[in-house]
Every structure is written in C-alpha cells, then in structure tokens.
Copies of this chain bind each other. A is one copy, B any other.
C-alpha cells in the first residue's frame, strides 16, 4: 500500500501548455486567481476540454503538481572517489540547490496551494507534493550521506536522521517564512556553507585540525 509508482500520466503537448499557463496564473495571483474560466481564457482552450482532460478542479491541481515535478528532475552527481573537500563541495552544492528550489516562485505557489488545501480532504495534494517533489531530492541527499560514510568521511548510524539534520541546518525556518510572504535570503551560498560547516562538525569523522 505504498510507493506503487503509478506511471507518470504523461500529458499531451497541448495539455502541457495549458498546465504551464495554469502554473503561471497560480504564481501570479495565488489560488483564487486560478479559476477554470480564467485558465480557459488565458490558455485559449475551452472549459469543456479542461474537464475532459483533468476531471475536475482538484484533478487539475494534481496534474499541475505532477507536471511541475516532472520538469524539475534532479541530476545525480557522479560519486567519483570522494575526498573531504569533494564531499564538502557536494554538500554545499546540495544546500544551494535546496534553497534555490524552495525559494522558487512555482515551488512556493504550489506549496501554498497544497497547504491551503490541507485542512480538508485528507491533504491529498500535500501527500502528492511530498511524494513527487521531495523524493528525488531526498534520495540525492541520502546518496551523498552514504557515499560519505563509505568513503570514511562521515560517521552516523541513521542516514535519514543525518540528512534531516543537514536539512534543518540549511533551511531552518526559512521555508515557512517564505511561504508566509517574507523575502528569501540574499546569499544562499553563504547559508549553505555555514550549514555544511556545522554539519561536518557534527558528522565529519576527521576532526578539524584548525579550531581558532
């Protein structure tokens, strides 16, 4: 009853264009700006087609999430023979990418949408968002964790726990603040670097020789 990987629906090019327009409307004006009539007008299609393709409004929202997730495919870094510097660089790149994704317009809009919908209907969209949007980035991070351990550079018992520590150090309460409307950081790289410093202090196996 879990992870049956239900074959990404694969929409037609026309439907992709409509979904793109839907995301644009959502980003510009929030959920209340995404009406079926408005989308039909903006995308030059008929409401009848919308309902034929996506069933109802909730189906449209779910399709938007699946569509966006399919676009933001993360790329696994080739884990060629990790050194401590290479590990640090990979971790910092991950942190920067994470902050970049979380502060993106579309990501924020979709998260706001799913959160606003989460009260009713068993948070169907929320689960969808976590499944589709998070799984890939989680796997990339955990891959990094375990590569670091295999290379003798990290020490931990639970990779998932270590990853969540890294996540917390990188993101802190920034995601929620941005969801609430606050601006993001000026320098994601700096934040990522500081987070990785702390992370390596906690989980790195080679103690820092310099401790000013």
Task: Tell me which residues across on chain B come within 8 A of A198, comparing CB atoms.
Answer: 165, 202
Task: Tell me which residues across on chain B come within 8 A of A115, comparing CB atoms.
Answer: 111-112, 115-116, 176, 179-180
Complex Cα distance A172/B80, Å? 29
Per a CB cutoff under 8 Å, which of B33, B118, B164, B201 touches A179? B118
List A179-199 residues whose CB lies under 8 Å from chain B: 179-182, 194-195, 198
Q: Which residue of B lies closest to A176 (CB)?
A: B175
Q: Does A97 contact B (CB under 8 A)?
A: no
Q: Which residue of B lies closest to A116 (CB)?
A: B116
Q: Does A18 contact B (CB under 8 A)?
A: no
**Are B169 and A129 in contact, CB atoms less than 8 angstroms apart?**
no
For the complex formed, measure the closest distance between the CB of A135 and the CB atoms of chain B, giving whole angstroms.
Answer: 13
Task: Tell me which residues across on chain B come within 8 A of A168, comparing CB atoms.
Answer: 167-173, 195
Q: Does A50 contact B (CB under 8 A)?
A: no
Complex Cα distance A172/B199, Å? 13
Task: Tell me which residues across on chain B come within 8 A of A180, comparing CB atoms.
Answer: 111, 114-115, 118, 123, 126-127, 129-130
For the complex formed, measure the closest distance between the CB of A180 and the CB atoms of chain B, giving whole angstroms.
Answer: 3
Complex Cα distance A182/B195, Å? 26
Task: Tell me which residues across on chain B come within 8 A of A114, comparing CB atoms.
Answer: 180
Q: Does A32 contact B (CB under 8 A)?
A: yes
Complex Cα distance A180/B201, Å? 32
Q: Which residue of B lies closest to A114 (CB)?
A: B180
Complex Cα distance A98/B170, Å? 19
Q: Does A12 contact B (CB under 8 A)?
A: no
Q: Does A122 contact B (CB under 8 A)?
A: yes
Other A-B contacts than A32-B120, A167-B173, A201-B202, 7 sampled, CB-CB below 8 A, are A111-B176, A112-B119, A126-B182, A127-B180, A165-B198, A169-B169, A201-B201
A residues with a Cβ closer than 8 A to B are: 29-33, 109, 111-120, 122-123, 126-127, 129-130, 161, 164-165, 167-173, 175-177, 179-182, 194-195, 198, 201-202
